[in-house]
């Protein structure tokens, strides 16, 4: 199994509108110079733009020195009839042919011969097809040595737990389901992962900046309800009482659980990357976790980090 660093680079944001080529490439270069060696992308991000940018930025880097993951389950098809109603540039395809085509196209966009890890991407409404067609296909790719590890990435915890129970996947990418604002992964996902030795990669720890007070942030891709916004404010109040940025606490929190091996960040500029690294390295006083529990913002059973990223 691949050993992942505690902090990885999510390449979705560098493909956002308004991020120029130079800024995107500088961001990845800054990540490399900082020592980051795990990079994650997907065809969906910018309709293939993220993969092309990441491949360009990593070109010439020794391939054996970094871990690269992408995803399958969506094909970039801007002119497909199905995209006319959704407005998307991609279509869902969890069939065997779709998975193999997706990987082939990703390798071309990335400009590499292989990726290390492959995730089935957001099969929420496609459980049967994902389990019966996508899963056997990615498992065979792993067993034949085409990729080193396979898993599933989603924004809900119950189906990830079900995949762990019903397959022999290696890892899961849990997006926004084990954070200071949402600990649903504690119910089934994390216990199952720990029991089966499945690696968990946590993403969306900051919920697009919501945890740090960004006014127009979304929660689970929807407008933020008042209860969630109030909880974020209470968490921020505790963190600020101890003189610690809320984002630093949020970024480090998932790593307190033994099943979580890596947290993905998604910067879009060298400055944002530097800020993420500073947050990840900021010591968090033990009193912060104690107070969050006293305030009922974390349960007594919720594990918390015993060390920070800088000293781990």
Nearest one of 145, 136, 186 to 163, comparing CA atoms: 136
Catalytic residue (one of 45, 92, 119, 178) = 45
**Distance, C-alpha 204 to centroid of its chain:** 6
Using the structure block, give the residue that is written with the tokens 């997706």.
Answer: 102
In SS3 terms, 114-172 reads as CCCEEEEECCCCCHHHHHHHHHHHHHHHHHCCCCCEEEEEECCHHHHHHHHHHCCCCEE
CA atoms within 13 A on the CB side of 238: 26
Residue 221 annotated as catalytic:
no
Read out DSSP for the chain?
Answer: -PPPPSEEEE-SGGGSTT--HHHHHHHHHHHHHHT--EEE--TTTTTTHHHHHHHHHHTTS-GGGSEEEEEESEEE-TT-TTHHHH--SEEE--SHHHHHHHHHHHHHHHT-S--SEEEEE--TT-HHHIIIIIHHHHHHHHHTTSSSEEEEEES-HHHHHHHHHHS--SEEEEESSSSSS--GGGTTHHHHHHHHT-EEEEE-TTGGGGGGT-TT-EETTEEPPHHHHHHHHHHHHHHHHTT--HHHHHHHGGGGSTTEEEEEE--SSHHHHHHHHHHHHS---HHHHHHHHHTTSS-TT----SS-TTT-
- Active-site annotation, residues: 45
């Amino acid at each position: 199994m691949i050993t992942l660093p505690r902090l990885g680079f999510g390449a979705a944001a560098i493909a956002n509108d308004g991020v120029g080529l130079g800024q995107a490439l500088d961001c990845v270069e800054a990540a490399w110079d900082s020592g980051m060696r795990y990079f994650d992308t997907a065809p969906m991000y910018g309709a293939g733009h993220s993969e092309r940018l990441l491949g360009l930025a990593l070109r010439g880097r020794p391939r054996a020195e970094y871990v690269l993951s992408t995803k399958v389950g969506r094909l970039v098809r801007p002119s497909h009839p199905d995209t006319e109603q959704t407005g998307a540039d991609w279509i869902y395809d969890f069939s065997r042919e779709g998975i193999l085509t997706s990987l082939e196209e990703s390798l071309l966009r990335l400009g590499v011969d292989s990726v290390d890890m492959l995730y089935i991407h957001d099969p929420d409404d496609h459980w049967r097809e994902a389990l019966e067609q996508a899963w056997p296909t990615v498992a065979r790719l792993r067993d034949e040595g085409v990729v080193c590890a396979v898993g599933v990435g989603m924004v809900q915890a119950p189906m990830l737990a079900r995949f762990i129970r019903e397959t022999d996947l290696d890892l899961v990418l849990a997006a926004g389901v084990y954070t200071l604002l949402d600990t649903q992964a504690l119910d089934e996902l994390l216990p199952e992962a720990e029991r089966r030795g499945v690696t968990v990669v946590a993403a969306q720890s900051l919920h697009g900046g919501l945890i740090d007070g960004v006014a127009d942030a979304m929660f689970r891709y929807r407008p933020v309800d008042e209860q969630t916004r109030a909880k974020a404010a209470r968490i921020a109040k505790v963190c600020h009482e101890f003189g610690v940025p809320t984002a630093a606490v949020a970024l480090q929190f998932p790593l307190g659980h033994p099943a979580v091996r890596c947290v993905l960040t998604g910067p879009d500029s060298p400055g944002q990357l530097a800020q993420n690294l500073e947050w990840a390295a900021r010591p968090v006083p033990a009193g912060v976790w104690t107070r969050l529990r006293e305030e009922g913002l974390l349960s007594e059973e919720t594990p918390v980090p015993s060390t920070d990223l800088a000293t781990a």
